[in-house]
Each structure stands twice: as C-alpha cells, then as structure tokens.
Structure 1
Amino acid sequence: MELKQALKELNRNEFQGDLNDLLIHMLHQIGSTDPVLRDELIYTTFGKLVTEDFLRKEQLTYLLNTCLDDEHLFYRIGERGTDSVFRRSFSVLVVALILEKDRESRFLSENRIAAVREACFRYLREEQDTRGYVEIKGWGHSIAHGADAMTEVIRHPLFDIGKMDECLEVIQECLFKEATTYVDDEDERLLFAIEALLDQGLSEEHLSKWIESLSTELEGLFQQNGYSVEVFHIKGNVLSFMKSCYFRLIMKGEFLEARSMIEKVVERWTRKIYG
C-alpha cells in the first residue's frame, strides 16, 4: 500500500496493516522533500503513535534508536543547502516526542537519557544547515527542532543539573553559527530551553552572566571582523534573541537583574553601531 494512503487510514483509525512495517517505511521517508508527506502525514502520525499509546515500549525504543543513528540524526551532518537537512531535522523532532512521552511514562534508563542528551547537544553543535522555511520543500527548521529536543532533555526528571552550563554553551553556539540569519522564530524556540533551565533552578545571576558573555563574544567577533556582513548577521541573531528573552522574562514578572543586563547590552550595541 502506498505510504500516504496508509498514513491517512491510520489517522482515521482505519489502518489494518502491520504497524512495525509501517514504522520502517515512515523512517525511510522521514526526510522526504514532499512537505505534505514529511510534515503533515509522517510527523503528524509519529505524534499520534507516540502520544496516544499505539506503540509498545520496544517499538518506542526502536524508533528512538533509529532516529539517533548516523543515517538519521547525523545523516550527512555538516552539509549546507542540501535535502539531507530534512532527514536530520525531522529525526530530532521525533526524539523530542519520545522524550516527552518518557517524561510521562518512564521506560528509558538513566544511561539512555544521558546518551540522548549528548546526541542532542552534538546535533545542535554540528548542524550547519540552519534554513527555516525552504521554498517548495517546506520546513527545514533544524535549529528550532533541535531546540525542541533540548528543551525536552532539560524538562526530563533525570536531567543532570550539572549540565546547565553546557546547555547554555550549546545555545550560544547556535546563535553564533557562521552564515546564519534566523528569521523563522528560532530564537523563540531556543528560549523554551532557557525557560526550562530556569524551571530546573538556573539562577538569575547565572543567566545574567551568560547574557553578558554573549555580548563579550560578539565584541570579540566585531574586533576581529569589523563591520562585515557576518558580524551584522550574528549581531542580529544575538540581539533578537536577547530582546525576545527580555519580553519573555517580563511575562514571567520577575528576573529584574537579567532584564537590566539585557537593557545594558542592547543599548551598548545600539550606540556602538548607530551612535
């Protein structure tokens, strides 16, 4: 049976085929360049299967292990502008689904959770194709999807709070990726990870120092490259992230110290660039 038809039947609760076989075919096509098949059918169906308890623990584990392997999450990692990004990006999105499920009904070991965490960190560090929406082929959104997975890592009850600094380092690396201009709400998705860290006990002082470190790194880049296109794009990413963070903190009604630090950094860079 054609995959699209099988997925439509499953979402109407009319599917009569072999679910294991269907999973294999879905994983094979997870990075399809057909946005309807990839996003509206395959990913949506993964969401239904995972969240509505269609899958046994063994099937969930198989799904997770496959999505994390070198033919999925790390498939041609480092490429830019090619179709391989869809396979990586939608694999990490399924990882996020499974982590969320494990938060509700635990079936993964502590060691497995640690391995997933390290894979998610590695993915966000190594992903170089940062396109959001790709004409005709739909959403790539690798950084946003990776941020979703990292947020689920942080929210998990087995999250190692000793890894907070590394989480911040990964977010910082995302903001400073070369040849990258974020225009599809990547900053908002990264901020969910910041909120999760705050919920896990990240102190306001720690957050403020990290915000200042973003400005320090940006200053170093500016000193090295001056008024280059690269610097302007990264400056835009960093300041957009900070501004979004500022208003997210206002919505929480607290974190005055961190908000004050953002105000100082934004003012500093506005005066530096525009006088």
Structure 2
Amino acid sequence: MEIKTELQNVLQQPTIVFSDELLVKMLTYIGHPDSELRDSIICNLFYAGIPTGEISVKQQQWLLDQILDKQLIMTGINEVTGDRVFTRTFSLLVLALIIAEDSKSQFISEVQLALIFRLANTYLRTEQDTRGYVESKGWAHGVAHGADLLVSIVSHPSFTQAMIPEIQQTIECVLFRKTEPFMADEEGRLCQIIVTQLVKYPQSADYLVLWLKEMLVRLAVKQNEEDPFETYQFERKIFQFIEALYFRLVISNKPEISEQLLTLILSKHKGG
C-alpha cells in the first residue's frame, strides 16, 4: 500500500516535519483496518508529534475541530461489529493526547471542552463494539481508549469535583451494559480514571466507596429478579473492576480506601 510505505518512511526520519498535508493523510487513514498502518505507524506518529509539540497548537486545534465536526468518535456507534470501530477508538486516543496538551497550553475553548466531556461519556455509554483485539485487524479497544480519554479529562484543570458523579455513572453503565467479562485490561484502564480522580480530589474517597456499595445493591436486585447465569456474569465483571481498583489503590498508597474495597471483595467471597 503506497500510503503505508509513505508514512512508514516519515516515521523513520530522525526529525519529522508535521506538515498540514501529512496531518490530513494521518487523519484520513486513522481508522484503517490494517493494524500496522493504523496502530504501528499513524498512532505512533501522533504520539511523536502531539506530546512533543512538533504538531503545533494550531494544528492540534485543527485536528480537534476535524474530529468533532466529522463526529469521528460516534461514526457507526451502534454497530456491534465492523471496521468503523477503529476510526472511533483511535480518534479517542488523539483527543486524549490533545486534552493532555491543553492541560499545559489551554488553547481549547470552554465550549469545546464541555462538548468533549459530554461526548466522552456518551461514547462509553453507547459503544456496542466492545472487542479488545480483532483477529487479523489488531486492537480496537473501545472501552480502554474511551477510558484513556476520560483520564485526560479528569487530569485537565477544567475538571471539577462536581463532574465526578457523571464519570461514575459512565463507568457503571459500561459495567452493566454487557455480561461479557473484560478480556484486554479494560478494567485497568477504567480504574485509572478513579485513581486519577482521587489524586486530584482526595476528599472524594467517601463518595467513591458509597458509589461502589450502591452498585453492589443494584447487582443484588438483578440477582433477585433476572436470569441467575446472566447476573453471575455481571457479578464477575463488576468484581473484576473492584479487585483491579483495589490493587491500584494499594500501589498508589491509598490504604484507607483500599481497606474498604478489600472488605467489599471479601464479602463477595464470603457469600460464595
């Protein structure tokens, strides 16, 4: 493929010049089903250009406008399978990089920041294609990349403590939407949202534990009212998340919260 060879040659240059023409090509092929072109080349070009500032603030604003105007993270959002998932999920990664840079430069308008926050939550609550790795086409990772964007948003100066409940509702929606367990460390990426939140707002710890307890009450209601095997699958998935969060909080030296999570985990195992 000619474009693949062209962009591979660009990536191998000791100094990459990110011309506007190059960015158009990168964005055009951002969701290509060829994993080498999409992931190994284009994604690495974005990582080489945005955090380093080699892709200028003006160019980052252009990329942001294109992703939002063309609704790239919502295209084909109701499809359970299909190749458009790659456009959605890799556009999420670019947004995450740009938001991280805006935390330092603050060039994005308040209106666009609010829109991105709303879209990030809508995406994770709506995405039907939760495949991690797609045979012969590479990583899709919708849940993981959506979580990465929320981590960047939570880290941003514009994120306030009042926005935490909406983030928690989004995570809960992901946990309760499908019975399939996470297979590609999606729970770890979701946990990072919470860890980032706690670093920024340590006082939100009590609300976190309350939310987890309320989520387990919701699970108990499902167990009483719905198919036993289906609710067992939900239970596995939810505790997969809680256990991953527990270990990350231990590593992050948050003993008081991690101990409360351990109590929740042990109550599950005690109950069988």
Q: TM-score, normalised by structure 1?
A: 0.91
Aligned match of 2:220: 219
8 A contact 1:212–1:261 mirrored in 2? no
Q: What SS does structure 2 have at the residue aligned with 1:81?
A: coil
Residues 241-262 of structure 1 show CA distances to partners (whole Å, capped at 9, x for unaligned) of 1111111122223342x33432
Percent pairwise identity: 31
Q: What SS does structure 2 have at the residue aligned with 1:68?
A: helix
Distance 2:250 2:57 in 1: 41
Q: What SS does structure 2 have at the residue aligned with 1:62?
A: helix
Residues 65-119 of structure 1 show CA distances to partners (whole Å, capped at 9, x for unaligned) of 2223454100011211221211111111110011111112221122222221111
Matches for 1:229-268 after TM superposition, within 5 Å: 230-256=230-256, 258-268=257-267
Aligned match of 1:196: 196
8 A contact 1:34–1:137 mirrored in 2? yes
Distance 2:18 2:93 in 1: 24
Amino acid of the residue matched to residue 268 of structure 2? Answer: W
Q: What SS does structure 1 have at the residue aligned with 2:41?
A: helix
Aligned match of 2:165: 165
Q: TM-score, normalised by structure 2?
A: 0.92
Distance 1:29 1:254 in 2: 42
Aligned match of 2:48: 48
8 A contact 1:6–1:15 mirrored in 2? no
Matched, 1:137 2:137: yes
Distance 2:129 2:246 in 1: 27
Aligned match of 2:269: 270
Distance 2:238 2:92 in 1: 24
Distance 2:237 2:109 in 1: 37
Structure 2: tracts of 5 or more residues without a match:
none
Q: What SS does structure 2 have at the residue aligned with 1:203?
A: helix
Residues 28-56 of structure 1 show CA distances to partners (whole Å, capped at 9, x for unaligned) of 21111111001000111111121222223
Aligned match of 2:208: 207
Amino acid of the residue matched to residue 265 of structure 2? Answer: V
8 A contact 2:179–2:237 mirrored in 1? no
Higher deviation after alignment, 151-160 or 102-111: 102-111
Q: What SS does structure 2 have at the residue aligned with 1:107?
A: coil
Matches for 1:15-164 after TM superposition, within 5 Å: 19-164=19-164
Distance 1:166 1:47 in 2: 29
Higher deviation after alignment, 152-161 or 263-272: 263-272
Distance 1:200 1:60 in 2: 26
Distance 1:18 1:149 in 2: 23
Distance 2:14 2:258 in 1: 52
**Post-superposition offset of 1:16:** 8.9
What's the C-alpha RMSD, in Å, of the aligned pairs? Answer: 2.1
**Post-superposition offset of 1:179:** 4.2
Amino acid of the residue matched to residue 267 of structure 1? Answer: L
Structure 1: tracts of 5 or more residues without a match:
none
Distance 1:65 1:71 in 2: 10
Q: How many residues align?
A: 271
Distance 1:91 1:18 in 2: 18
